[in-house]
A = this chain, B = another copy of it.
Amino acid sequence: MTPKISQFLADEQPATPCLVVDVDEVEDRFRRLQGALPLALIYYAVKANPARPILERLVSLGSRFDAASWEEIRLCLDAGASPDDISFGNTVKKVSAIQAAFAVGVRLYVFDSLEELEKIARYAPGSKVYCRLLVDNYGAEWPLSRKFGTTVESARELMLHARELGLDPYGLSFHVGSQQLSADAYEAAIARVASLVTDLSATGLDLRMVNLGGGFPIRYRDDVPEIEQFGDAICSAMTKHFGNALPEMLIEPGRFIVGAAGVVSAEVVLVSRRGREDGPRWVYLDIGRFGGLAETEGESIRYDIRTQHDGGAVSAVAIAGPTCDGADIMYERSPYVLPDALAAGDRVELLSTGAYVSTYCSTRFNGFAPLTEHYI
């Protein structure tokens, strides 16, 4: 939690649940990532947090943008981004969305199937396209692999076909999975991409870009490798496989840029044992899986939690949200402890919640309004 967020929470005591994001911290994270990967063009993954103050700050820093939908493209343009700096990075796009994006000047599109490629050729003629490869997501805490990406053999055919369709066969992409803890995953994927680039070059098709995706991890409860380690590993792998003929390198960070810049302030609604003295206490917060903390599904992302009683005696807890839904349990198997003094009405802070929280929030499940957001 940054000093600015601590001060804001102390001074304002904003109604809970709410998300507070320090936009200066967003800038620091952007600069640090750019320092770790100086050759990479940063396309911020808008889906991580599309709030206007974040997009505007990133525009001012020269960031580019990875948009998942026409609506996200619109948000980027409204925040001052140029269409030249936007990648339409969803492999699944409605025709109407491609048409709208093309009309405002977006010229960079991803695909991973023949059907999508043909849509792009028809509704965004002449655009740059890149093909997403299926790669291993081993090591990622929020894996993505099964839904996206095609095989090397298929990508090869599709890139050649893209040229025949009058598109600009620009490059290849992959995604090693979100909150990826292992730099090896990038190295393995780069090797795979490089081999296909070499192969296509032999047929006279020179690709000029490699999109390394995102997935760079941040600290939740446990330490993660520093971003410089990922930078070094990626740089070494790119040099090893491409030598002096380095292609353009794109990255699509979301969590790394905004995750650590945000804090959710919540209220304890109930602490109880419900008649089971041998079990953990159950702590119910006024935010849960359907109020924005969707990445706690399967207890995948384990947020660090601060309370006003930190330092006192602690014991095991299960942690759940405020709805009547039995699935609205955040942590039951993960070894969480919280202070024995914790009681209903206390405020708690969930750290590093700037990414993938505000937009996952349900419209009104169980009647609870979406969490409010403060950008400071």
Contact = CB atoms under 8 A, between A and B. Distances in A.
Interface of A: 45-47, 50, 67-72, 74-75, 89-95, 112-116, 119, 134, 137, 142-151, 153-155, 177-178, 267, 269-276, 282, 284, 286, 290, 294, 297, 320, 322-329, 332, 344-345, 358-370
B267 A322 contact: no
Contacts of A322: 69, 90, 92, 94
A142 B324 CA distance: 12
B370 A363 contact: yes
B112 A272 contact: yes
A47 B324 contact: yes
Nearest to A152: B275
Contacts of A367: 46-47, 50, 67-72, 74-75
Give the copy number.
Answer: 2
A145 B318 CA distance: 14
17 contacts: A47-B324, A70-B367, A71-B367, A92-B270, A94-B286, A94-B322, A95-B344, A119-B344, A134-B275, A137-B326, A150-B276, A151-B275, A154-B274, A154-B276, A178-B326, A358-B363, A359-B365
A162 to B, nearest CB: 14
Interface centre among A67, A290, A367 (most CB of B within 10 A): A367
Nearest to A66: B324
Interface centre among A149, A271, A284 (most CB of B within 10 A): A284
A91 B271 CA distance: 11
B366 A363 contact: no
B149 A274 contact: yes
A47 B365 contact: yes
Given A68-B324, A74-B367, A294-B362, 15 more contacts: A47-B365, A71-B367, A71-B369, A72-B366, A90-B322, A90-B366, A112-B274, A146-B326, A150-B276, A151-B276, A178-B326, A359-B364, A360-B365, A361-B362, A362-B363
A284 B92 contact: yes
A178 B144 CA distance: 29
Contact of A69 (B72, B89, B366): B366
Given A142-B327, A329-B147, A367-B72, A272 B362 contact: no
Nearest to A74: B367
Nearest to A118: B344
Given A95-B345, A113-B272, A366 B359 contact: yes
A98 to B, nearest CB: 11
B361 A71 contact: no
B267 A94 contact: yes
Given A149-B274, A344-B95, A144 B365 contact: no
B270 A115 contact: yes
Contacts of A344: 95, 115, 119
Contacts of A328: 147
